[in-house]
Amino acid sequence: MDAMLGRAMWRHLLALALALRGAQGWSVLILGGTGFRGHLTTELLVREGHNVTVISRGIRYWDNFQRLSPHMTHWRCNRTLAQEHGGGVLPKSSGLVNCTELVNSNATFDAVVDFSTRTLPEMKQAISLLRGRVSLYIFISSHAVYDVAKNRTHDEEYLLESDAVRPGREVSPLDRWALKGKSVRGDNELECEEELLKQYNAGGFPYVTLRLGNVFGPKENSIRYWLLHLWVKACVALTLPLHVDNSLEATPISMTYTPDIAQAVRLAIAKGLNESCCAEKVHGEAFNLACEEMPSQRVLYNYIGEPAGMPYVETIELPHNLSIVLYPDNLQGPISVAKAQEVLRWSPTTLNKALRSVARFYERIMLEAKKHKQEIEYMYRKIKAMLGADGPRFVEWSRARYAERRKTELYDELDDEDEDEIILSRKASADRHGKGSKRPKREL
């Protein structure tokens, strides 16, 4: 009964908040939002005229923070919870409680988009601080949750959202503990999802979970795609074939493009705030996000090689402990995106188009070396660490190749489009417009 009353209260608050906002757009709090996975989401919401507040450390890698900060409210805060000597966390003296702007403000938000929660204590702290202040919570999770879930109970080729369920008493406590240990990241994220569901069932705020696959896009800090973009070019010249993990050789890979995350967040907010219809279809629900194409490692390398001008990519099969394999980063295989397509009306970019866009981005970065010296040198340091003994000659070859291209101005003319800008600013179909989406877009 208490939970039902709580739900009724949230529906009333939702309706009141939407009525008060009118044509002003949404008030959105983004936890994270200037890093690799989230900066395009922040940019999209800003462009559509929404009132965006970001809580982050404000790290100035790439130019995300500098470009976005004039168009948003920024509250600088380190979300990491301090630990006591025994290993316990200190949620009352660290993390979000030190974000004085949030703690001292009485601001309420139509939506919170959470890119930065990593552990259960961080999620509990966020829920405690935001209870009564948010109409909808969007949690960015990942496909790693399936690595710690019980065996699927269907014959589908792909993982469904309903598969992220821990085993019950049919499995021994020892086996349950072993399953939790298969992926620390997956276990942490599933605990966060479970905590959101727990508070929701107790009458708390509605939420939506978006589960990402192997994320790629412009301005990454993991250097995974950037390394592969250079490696497919160097593999023949350096006799350095790309590695194929023989234990994952045939495993299909789900790839998630960062501009598609931004589109899904916008659609989830619009649906969750009952702006288009049927909010009950998204409240408390999870949605997988990825491109529809699911290549194996070899096929993915060929996908990456094509826009890089390499029709043939050399590979070598190696055992798991000897291979440098950057995708996939999960164990359980590809994810189905049918639910997001049907319920959210979300449409992912084709993998070929997305990879072409990202290839163009990194080519431009490499050819504008003076402008992006910090990012390029950071990338080279990471590549040396990743490739070990082969790292120095790989880096020297890459430096020489792009120095020659800059000198002779032999730029790859993929085409003149800036694909990321097109994807971010393309008009959604009429049934996808959220409130505020027709306002003049802000220039960034």
Residue, of 56 and 15, whose pLDDT is higher: 56
pLDDT in the model for residue 439: 38
pLDDT in the model for residue 414: 45
Q: Is there a domain that residue 18 lies in?
A: yes
pLDDT in the model for residue 309: 87
Q: Is there a domain that residue 304 lies in?
A: no
DSSP line for 228-296: HHHHHHHTTTTT-PEEEETTTTT----EEEHHHHHHHHHHHHHHHTTSSS-GGGTTTEEEEE--S----
- Structural contact between residues 186 and 203, judged by C-beta atoms closer than 8 angstroms: no
pLDDT, the chain, mean = 87
Residue, of 430 and 342, whose pLDDT is higher: 342
Lowest mean pLDDT among 54-58, 291-295, 420-424: 420-424
Number of separate domains in the chain: 1
Distance of alpha carbon 32 from alpha carbon 114, whole angstroms: 7
pLDDT per position as a tens digit, 257-289:
999 999 999 999 999 998 667 777 899 999 999
Residue 244 φ/ψ, nearest 5 degrees: -120, 120
Residue 134 has pLDDT above 60, yes or no: yes
Q: Is there a domain that residue 78 lies in?
A: yes
421 pLDDT tier (thresholds 50, 70, 90): very low
pLDDT in the model for residue 87: 73
Tell me which residue has tokens 């935001």.
Answer: 130
pLDDT in the model for residue 152: 77
Mean pLDDT of 56-71: 89
Would strands 315-318 and 285-289 be described as parallel, antiparallel, or unpaired? unpaired
Residue 207 φ/ψ, nearest 5 degrees: -145, 165
pLDDT in the model for residue 92: 82
Is the preceding peptide bond at 167 cis, omega within 30 degrees of 0? no
Residue 47 φ/ψ, nearest 5 degrees: -60, -30
Distance of alpha carbon 198 from alpha carbon 19, whole angstroms: 29
pTM above 0.85, yes or no: yes
173 pLDDT tier (thresholds 50, 70, 90): confident
pLDDT per position as a tens digit, 347-371:
999 999 999 999 999 999 999 999 9
Mean pLDDT of 376-388: 95
Residue 203 φ/ψ, nearest 5 degrees: 95, 15
CB burial of 362-382 (b: ≥16 within 10 Å; e: otherwise) equals: bbbbbbeeeebeebbeebbeb
Mean pLDDT of 292-316: 94
Mean pLDDT of 216-234: 95
SS3 assignment, position 159: strand
CB burial of 168-177 (b: ≥16 within 10 Å; e: otherwise) equals: eeeeeeeebe
Lowest mean pLDDT among 35-44, 112-121, 169-178, 243-252: 169-178
pLDDT in the model for residue 58: 85
pLDDT in the model for residue 436: 35
Lowest mean pLDDT among 274-288, 293-307, 322-336: 274-288
Query: What CATH number corresponds to the domain at position 166?
Result: 3.40.50.720
Give first-to-last CA distance, the chain, whole Å. Answer: 48
Residue 3 has pLDDT above 90, yes or no: no
Q: Is there a domain that residue 29 lies in?
A: yes
Residue 378 has pLDDT above 60, yes or no: yes
| Short-list 185, 55, 211, 214, CA closest to 118 | 185
Residue 207 has pLDDT above 70, yes or no: yes
pLDDT in the model for residue 275: 67
Distance of alpha carbon 82 from alpha carbon 89, whole angstroms: 6
- Domain extent at residue 6: 2-220+254-295+330-358
Q: Is there a domain that residue 227 lies in?
A: no
Residue 335 DSSP code: B
Mean pLDDT of 183-198: 97
Q: Is there a domain that residue 414 lies in?
A: no
SS3 assignment, position 138: strand
Residue, of 376 and 8, whose pLDDT is higher: 376
Q: Is there a domain that residue 67 lies in?
A: yes
pLDDT per position as a tens digit, 110-133:
999 999 999 999 999 999 999 999
Mean pLDDT of 37-43: 96
Distance of alpha carbon 109 from alpha carbon 129, whole angstroms: 12
Stated as kind and residue range, the H or E segment containing 64 is helix 64-68
The residues that bridge with 211 in the sheet, in sequence order, are: 141, 288
Stated as kind and residue range, the H or E segment containing 400 is helix 391-408
Residue 416 has pLDDT above 50, yes or no: no
Q: Is there a domain that residue 56 lies in?
A: yes
Alpha-helical segments (H) within 131-217 = 173-180, 184-201
SS3 assignment, position 317: strand
SS3 assignment, position 376: helix
Residue 205 has pLDDT above 50, yes or no: yes
pLDDT in the model for residue 169: 80
| Short-list 204, 281, 265, 284, CA closest to 52 | 265
